[in-house]
Amino acid sequence: MMDKSFIKERPRDSKGRFKTGGIYKLSEETKQKIRAKAIGRKHTQKSKDKMSKAATGRILTDEHKDKISKGNKGKQKPPRTQENREKLSQAMKGKFKDRIASKNPMWNGGIKVDKKGYVYIYYPSHPRAVAKYVRRSHLVVEKFIGRYLVGKEMIHHIDLNKHNDNLNNLMIFKSVKEHSSFHVKLRQFGVTNPIRRQIENRWEEYGKKI
């Protein structure tokens, strides 16, 4: 049972009855008694349900939030025991089952664009997947040549528009060095006849034609 000795601190009227209304400040001694009694106590499910129901719809004021923040400042949470971890693991199992991939309410069709402008497709099983996504340009070329890109192979956008992943706009380079060299020639000389021929014949060594 909770220590109710603090009740005697409430003022009484001439007939000895407790006065109603007002705020009664607990002494430090009483607070310590209450804390000591509360150590190790666990709320019953019925008690938790009552607290949950009482808190439903409650809106905290900024002042209340500040008090909670100051009260928690500097407090360190005790490390979780192995038993705690196992309980949490069991409780979380299957909890986010409906929030995976296409079932996620934030699902955008499995398409995203990075800061550089490359378009990515959700493809977790792909060998080149990064965080379950693969560049769309890679998928377009791989489908055309009938295999995954290997080694340091990379895709170039002919019109330099990284959003344009049409097959007519893509070509393969075998390394970063080869790709960089191509860009240097473009900057220095523009689209010369040798570069034009390289673009036109880009699929010959793969036995493909567009």
- Give 10 or 87, the one with higher predicted confidence: 87
Instruction: Report if residue 132 sits inside a domain.
Output: yes
State the pLDDT confidence band at 107, using cuts at 50, 70 and 90. Answer: low
Instruction: Report if residue 135 sits inside a domain.
Output: yes
φ and ψ at residue 155, rounded to 5 degrees: -105, 135
Note the pLDDT tens digit of each residue in 126-160: 999 998 999 999 999 999 999 999 989 999 999 99
Instruction: Report if residue 191 sits inside a domain.
Output: yes
Instruction: Report if residue 70 sits inside a domain.
Output: no
Counting Cα atoms < 13 Å in the Cβ hemisphere of 144 gives: 23
Instruction: Report if residue 39 sits inside a domain.
Output: no
Instruction: Report if residue 122 sits inside a domain.
Output: yes
Q: Evaluate if residue 55 carries a pLDDT over 60.
A: yes
Cβ–Cβ under 8 Å, residues 122 and 132: yes
Instruction: Report if residue 155 sits inside a domain.
Output: yes
User: What is the domain extent for residue 179?
Assistant: 102-206
Domain count, the chain: 1
What integer best gives the mean pLDDT of the chain? 82
Instruction: Report if residue 83 sits inside a domain.
Output: no
The residue assigned the tokens 């007002």 is 22
- Give 39 or 99, the one with higher predicted confidence: 39
Using a cut of 0.85, tell me whether the model's pTM lies above it. no
pLDDT at 29: 83
